[in-house]
Amino acid sequence: MSGESTDLRGKTALVTGASRGIGRAVAERLAADGALVAVNYARDEVAAKEVVAAITEAGGRAFAVKAELGTDGDVESLFTAFDAGLRELGAEPPLDILVNNAGIGAKATIEEVTPDLYDQVFAVNTRALFFITREALTRMPDGGRIINVTSGVTRIAFPEGISYAMTKGAVDTFTLALAKHVGPRGITVNNVAPGFIDTDVNADWLRGNPEGQAYAASRAAVARVGVPHDISGAVTFLASDAASFITGTIIDATGGADL
């Protein structure tokens, strides 16, 4: 939770998929800059409580919100838990910052993608994001911030994960249209697109694997593998007043992959 600070005091943020990886780094950074952060998780309550504890110990404020996205009733479950968490803290209900970070991968070529896999990845990465955002807009005051964590695969061909890439392409289009729609309210909508990041999602081929590390670093112009805090800084910037005139765009946080 280090780095140049942006003032988010008095703001409330909801970060989906915040119990680990990029989501955890984003939650910690937003809290470090003053926001009250709702830490969403699907199943790992222990990990989510660890994030809340880390934020609290560092002087921030946070609470855990359980909701498994991509399932029936996910949006209702998410915001019921969000409202309950606010009440327990005696906090006000407006939601100032929404970070749509939760997502699942689907490493499969077009020949390997099954209908069930296709439906699952779209349910989490696209459908849940859409309807969570729609509900969030009913709670968000003018001047709010929506940040979607997408992927560099919308710029770089990724046939080995074609259905996953399609979901992120859909989010790019969603962001562009929504930014125009809510712009008159002063609400900004932007994407942050990570590249190869050292997280649990990539652990099987990247973490502790010198060959994987070397390959990922070779793809980036900055010649290294990204870490979650590389992404959290970009998200926090977009959540701040410093980015109030930026909307409908993408911050490429791939380290210059495949330039």
Catalytic amino acids? Answer: 164
Report d(CA 199, CA 258) in Å as an integer: 20
Strand order in the sheet with 12-15: 61-66, 36-41, 12-15, 97-100, 145-149, 188-194, 250-253
- Residues 59 and 46: their CA atoms lie apart, in Å, by 20
- SS3 category, 243: helix
d(CA 11, CA 144): 9
Distance CA 13, CA 38 (A): 6
Tokens matching residue 75: 């949006």
d(CA 61, CA 28): 10
Q: What share of the chain is helix, strand, coil (3-state, %, to 5)?
A: 45, 15, 40
The Cα–Cα gap between 147 and 247 comes to 10
In 3D space, the residue among 1, 2, 11 whose CA is nearest the CA of residue 34 turns out to be 11
Q: Distance between CA 126 and CA 123 in Å, rounded?
A: 6
